[in-house]
Amino acid sequence: MKKLFLTIALMLIIPTMVLAIDFSPTVLRLSAPETVQYDFDGKNIEIPITVSGVPARTQFLVYTKDKGESVGAVRNGYLGWHYVHNIDTCVYLSEPYDFDTGKNTITWNGKNDDGAMVPAGDYTYYLWAFDFSSAKQRVCPGADANGGRTFDIERNKLTYLEKDESGQVLVRPVLYNFSGGNSSVAYKWILGGDPLDNTLLESTDFGIPKEWCYRSPFMGAFNPTDHSTTYVSFTHTETRSHVVYKYKWVPNGLSEKDDKWGTDLVWTHNIEANSGIVTDGDYLYMDTCNIRVSDPNSHFYIMDFDGTEVENFLLEWWIKPDEYTKDVGAAPYLNGGPQWTDIRGDRVFMGYWFCMFQMVNPKLYLETGDMDDFTMYCNMNGDYINDRQYQTDAETPWVCFGEGAPNVSTVYSDALYFVATPQDGMGAVSFCVMGPDGTGLGYCTFAGETAGNKRGVMFIDSGSAFDGIYTDNNSAQTTETGFISGLFYVGHDSIKGTITNSSVMVEENKPAAFTVEQNSPNPFNPTTSINFTIAEAGNVSVDVFNVAGQKVDTLVNGFMGAGTHSVVWDASRFSAGVYFYTVKTGNLSQTMKMTLLK
C-alpha cells in the first residue's frame, strides 16, 4: 500500500517538475482615441478607454500642450517647493478609476483642479495604470547556485536593456545587476526564462579589489551600439574617491578592462554614494553626494564615450537645505542626494531617500550653455506625495531632509516620464507616482502588500511581451532572512492623446489607436491568427521570433491600409515551444508571446 502511495505521489510530482513554466506575464494594455474633440463648454466629455489583459487602477491627467516656453520658471506647491521650468504642466488630475478589462469610460468637464474652466485649445491627456488586483509574479531567481543574492532591487540599482544594438525593441529584454555586498560580480538575466532556474543566470566578474567596492558598485550603462561593452563606476571604501572604467563583458568569466580608456575619469571628491552610470546614447552621466560632510559635495558628471570628461559641476538644488525648510525647521543634512538615477531618452531622473526628486536634461544644457536649461522640474515637499513631515503633529514640520517615512530606495521612470518611488515606512503602501512635471498622482498598493520593506519599482515599457512593473517582494516576509529575494512582476501601462477644440476629421471606421491582440487560439497546433489594428496606412511588418530572440519567420512586410487586419501563422514546420510575434508600423511596435503545441 505504501509503495502504491509513493508511486502515485511521484506521478503527481514529476509532471509538475516537467511542466514548470517559464516567466510569461499577462500584459496590461490601455487603448484610447489619439485625438478627442471638445468644445470646452463645461459639459462632460466622455473618453472611451479599453483595458486588456488584467483589470487596471487608472488615473486621468490633463496637461498643457506645447506651452512649455510660455510656462517659463514657476514655483508652486507648499512654500513654493515645487519648481518647473519650460515644460508643460498638469491642470487636472482625476481620482483613481478601477476598471475591469473591456470597454470603459472616463469623463471630464473641462475644469482644472481648482474648479475653473480651462481656456479652449489643445491639451495633452495621459492615462497611467497598474494592476491592483493580481498577485505578484516571480521573474527570476533571487540567488545564484551558491546562495548569493543576485537580483534584489534594493541598493544595487538594476540596469535594463529594452532595445538591441540597431535600436529595435528586444523580443526578450535583459536585466543586469551587481550581486550585493563588497563584490564586483554582476549578473545578467534574459526575461522569459524559468524564474526558479538559477542555472540560467549569467555572471561576470570585473576583478576590482574589494576596497574599491564600497556598498557594492552600481551596475553601469551599456554602449547602445555594442552591448558587450559596459561602463561601471567604483568607489574606494577608505578614500571615497571614485572612478569609471570601461569593460568588455565576458559571460561567466573575468571581464576585460580597457586600460587605455578613461584614464582621467578619477575624482577625489569625498563621496558617500554614487548612482552608477546612465546614458542617452550620446553621453555618459553620473551623480554623487555625501551627506556627512560640511561642504557642498553633490556633483553631476558628463562623460564622452571616448573616455574624456565633458563637465563636472555642483548640483545647486541639492546643497541648499535652508531653501527647503525656510523658517519652519532646521535641516539636518547638507548634500541631501542624489543617489538614485534613471534615464529615459534625454531626460535624467534623480532622487534620494529624502524628499527631493529632479528631472534634468543635460544634453539641452550642453547645447545652450545655460544652467537654467538643466533642471526641468524639482519636486521637494509641497504636494503631500513623497513629502516628509507634512502631518499637522510633526515634530519638525515640513523639514525635507528630516528623518522618518517615507524612505525611498530607487527612482525609475516609464516611457512617458511618470516616475515611481518605493515607499518604505508607509504601512502597506507600495510606491508613489509622479507625473511628467513632478505632480504627485498618489500612493499605490500592490495586491496582498503588507507593511514590510519596499525597495524598488522599475519599468520595462517598450512594447514587448514583458512590459510592466518589476519590483521586490520584501514585504512578504516569509523566509528566515525576512523577505523573498528576487524580482516580481505587476502589470502597468501609460498612454497619451490630445484633447482639442479644433475640428477633428473622422474617417468612417478609422481606428483610434495601434493595438495588437493576443493570437488565437493560444496555445495552438499548427495554425493561429494574429489580429492587429493600425491607425494610419503605412508599412507594416509581422515577424516571429524564437525564445533566443532569433527571427524565424516573416508573415507580413509591406504597405497596409488603416484598420484591423488578421494574418495566419502556419507553424507546421516548426518545433513545439514558445515563440514571440512583433507587429511594427512606423515607430510603433508591440510584441506578444505564443505557444506552439505538437
The stretch 192-216 carries a mean pLDDT of 89
- pTM (two decimals): 0.89
What whole-number distance in Å separates Cα of residue 461 and Cα of residue 527? 29
544-550 long-range contacts, CB within 8 A, separation 24+: 544/569, 544/579, 544/580, 544/581, 545/171, 545/579, 545/580, 545/581, 545/582, 546/577, 546/579, 546/580, 547/172, 547/192, 547/577, 547/578, 547/579, 547/580, 549/170, 549/171, 549/172
pLDDT at 20: 43
Q: Dig out the grid coordinates for 584 from the structure.
A: 511594427
Looking at every residue in the chain, the average pLDDT score rounds to: 87
Comparing 106-110, 281-285, 508-512, the range with the smallest average pLDDT is 508-512
Between CA 473 and CA 484, with CA 478 as vertex, the angle to 5 degrees is 35
Question: Residue 328's pLDDT is what?
Answer: 56
End-to-end CA distance of the chain: 37
| Per-residue pLDDT band at 417 (split at 50, 70, 90) | very high
Q: How far apart are CA 483 and CA 178, in angstroms?
A: 19
- Do 490 and 414 contact (CB within 8 A), yes or no? no
**Phi, psi for 7 (deg, rounded to 5):** -65, -45
Is 50 exceeded by the pLDDT of residue 449?
yes
Highest mean pLDDT of the ranges 10-19, 249-258, 376-385? 249-258
Q: What is the pLDDT of residue 15?
A: 35
- The conformation of residue 203, written as its DSSP 8-state character, comes to E
Q: How do beta strands 29-31 and 45-52 pair?
A: antiparallel
pLDDT at 68: 92
Pick the range with the lowest mean pLDDT from 140-154, 214-228, 292-306, 485-499: 140-154
Q: How far lies 205's CA from each of 12, 149, 202, 208, in Å?
A: 41, 15, 11, 8
CB neighbours of 521 closer than 8 A, spacing ≥ 6? 528
Q: What are 544-598's pLDDT values in tens digits?
A: 999 888 899 999 999 998 889 999 999 999 999 989 999 999 888 899 899 999 8
Q: How does strand 35-37 pair with strand 492-500?
A: parallel
> Which range among 153-167, 373-387, 470-484 shows the weakest confidence by mean pLDDT?
470-484
Q: Name 161's Cβ contacts closer than 8 Å, sequence gap at least 6.
A: 170, 173, 174, 176, 222, 227
- pLDDT score at 142: 82
In tens, the pLDDT along 377-400 reads 998 877 778 887 777 787 777 777
pLDDT at res. 401? 66
Alpha-carbon distances, residue 246 vs 132, 260, 309 (angstroms): 41, 9, 14
